[in-house]
């Protein structure tokens, strides 16, 4: 395994050991996600750690973090430790979620194809990613990001797999080069102070929980101004 990837996994394992499960109803995306889930419909979340957006009990979760999977399984989640091809049959889910995940995956093309495969026609893919390659800084490197997406290119990439973005909104993730280098350096130093790292992560989560989404349908390249894209795509 690549040393950087292994180090990144170790950091997230330490985080998920200390960060408790956040109730799915707390997330601002919940009302939109709930509208996609009928009685008995199945939902899958990829790489959510202890921050699940789908209901844990009865939900399906794929992750590489054993601490996260342990917590999810203890609360009734169906958990699988896996990377690469998803261990589910075609059209198995009405909803798939991947928040802050795709930017960590080298072969994101395969992952998009797999998401499309396990989604039913008419199903929803809810996700978030950092956007604007020009904003890539040391902050992204420290976080384990392989890339920042060009939003329009990503829209086309998803559409190629039958995933059509219906609406989108943004979150702030747009450090300049100097600020990104400073924040990246600070995060790198925090690795030696696990308790402080957890406090910083909890603060970041609280900020996310307080967001309120205003959905948009104009050209998705406008998301670059804020640097973070949140979107809902439909499986055709």
pLDDT for residue 5 is more than 70: no
The pLDDT value recorded for residue 158 is 98
- Note the pLDDT of residue 193: 78
User: pLDDT higher for 93 or 3?
Assistant: 93
- Average pLDDT value for the chain: 93
Coil, helix or strand at residue 223: helix
Domain ranges of the chain: 3-235
Contact in structure between 151 and 223 (CB atoms under 8 Å): yes
The residue with tokens 């992750």 is 63
- Give 114-128 as a DSSP string: HHHHHEEEEEEEEEE
Using one digit for the tens of pLDDT, what is the confidence trace for 104-118? 999 999 999 999 999
Distance of CA 149 to the CA centre of its chain: 13
Cα(124)–Cα(83) distance, integer angstroms:
21
Provide the CATH number for the domain formed by 3-235 in this structure. 3.40.50.150
pTM equals 0.94
On whether the CB atoms of residues 114 and 92 are closer than 8 A, the answer is no
């Amino acid at each position: 395994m690549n040393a950087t990837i292994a180090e990144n996994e170790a950091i997230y394992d330490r985080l998920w050991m200390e960060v408790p499960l956040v109730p799915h109803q707390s997330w601002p995306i919940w009302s939109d996600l709930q509208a996609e889930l009928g009685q008995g419909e199945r939902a899958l979340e990829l790489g959510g750690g202890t921050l699940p957006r789908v209901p844990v009990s009865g939900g399906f979760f794929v992750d590489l973090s054993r601490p996260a999977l342990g917590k999810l399984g203890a609360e009734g989640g169906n958990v699988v430790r896996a990377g690469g091809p998803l261990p589910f049959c075609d059209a198995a889910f009405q909803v798939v979620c991947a928040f802050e995940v795709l930017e960590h995956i080298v072969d994101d093309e395969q992952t998009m194809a797999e998401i499309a495969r396990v989604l039913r026609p008419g199903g929803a893919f809810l996700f978030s990613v950092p956007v604007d390659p020009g904003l890539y800084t040391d902050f992204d490197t420290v976080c384990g990001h392989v890339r920042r997406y060009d939003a329009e290119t990503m829209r086309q990439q998803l559409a190629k797999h039958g995933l059509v973005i219906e609406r989108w909104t943004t979150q702030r993730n747009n450090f300049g080069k100097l600020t990104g280098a400073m924040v990246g350096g600070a995060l790198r130093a925090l690795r030696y102070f696990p308790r402080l790292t957890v406090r910083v992560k909890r603060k970041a989560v609280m900020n996310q929980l307080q967001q309120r989404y205003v959905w948009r349908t104009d050209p998705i390249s406008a998301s670059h101004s804020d640097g973070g894209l949140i979107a809902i795509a439909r499986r055709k």
